[in-house]
Amino acid sequence: MFRTIKWLSVVSTIGMFFILLGGALVTKTDSGAGCGSSWPLCNGQLFPNVITPELIIEYSHRLVSSIIGVTVLLLAVFAWGHLGHIREVKFLSFISVFFLVLQGLIGAAAVVWGQSDFVLAIHFGVSLVSFASIFLLMLLIFEIDNKLDADTLHIKKKDRIEIYLLSIFTIIVVYTGALVRHINANLVCGSWPFCDNNAPFAFADYNFHQWVQMGHRSLAAILFIWTFIFFIKVHKNYRNNRVMYYGWIISFSLILLQVIFGAMIIFTELNLWIALFHAFFITCYFGMLSYFMLLSNRSAHQEQKVKVTQTNKNILHMKQSAKNEA
């Protein structure tokens, strides 16, 4: 059974990658209406007789989502039943299913009733959380922590808080990036890094779409700088711990690639493969952040246990002293 759980975790994690990239592909190719307003069928048919490229993209995305939805559900049930003794497993199992269902409902509502671009932009962020929970489940199942000796890692409280805040900020950046795609603001600025490099501070001339585009770029720049600064802190304070040190080398590399491919979207005028890699790198980056959130939570839990133990020892010592004095 444990071997089955391992395979389910791998298939589910890889499948979530395809779901995320498939969703990005649907948005970037304007294939959201490829199956009309019919869901879960396509134009009211299980096997549509009129085939278009948009229909193939949309229907393939739905099919992959359905299959992976089943594997995620099986993974959550088996992991809960057989690995529930691991502290994080039950929570991650619930979150993975909950957000996957929520993602499907948002997609279905968009097809059947239509949604504003601001609501649709939430879709990618919800999928990202679902992916992260499944990714963490896979790491726990494969006992990555034991192999990397992550149990010896203690992340300081101020660094834990910064990791949590960085993760929340990443979701905000992801949302603004999704909003750029949904309102078709990808190419409203012809230059990079400014909207117009010849007039970099002509903010008064921006229209709504340009404000959204430059808002996303500004937040992405902050995320890149913040990640770099935190990586420097890790280099100074956690250099002897390979989980933190090499983990943040990977994280910084991913956010660097994210920025590079974001710029290349402009230079290549929205090349599809470049855009998909842009989505791929932010997915991997958030997966790394999620792992460090898990390790941060463990450090906090360990700190609490130490405090409780020390408090109990102090109480016992006080009782013993009072008894001796009596």
Which residues form the catalytic set? 58
CA atoms within 13 A on the CB side of 94: 5
Non-local CB neighbours of 64 within 8 Å, separated by 6+ positions = 15, 18, 19, 22
Grouping H, G, I as helix, E, B as strand and the rest as coil, residue 45 is: strand
DSSP class per residue in 96-160 = HHHHHHHHHHHHHHHHHT---HHHHTHHHHHHHHHHHHHHHHHHHHTTHHHHHTGGG----HHHH
Q: Is 224 exposed, middle or buried (0-12, 13-18, 19+ CB in 10 A)?
A: middle
Instruction: Answer for the pair 128, 16: CB distance below 8 angstroms, yes or no.
Output: no
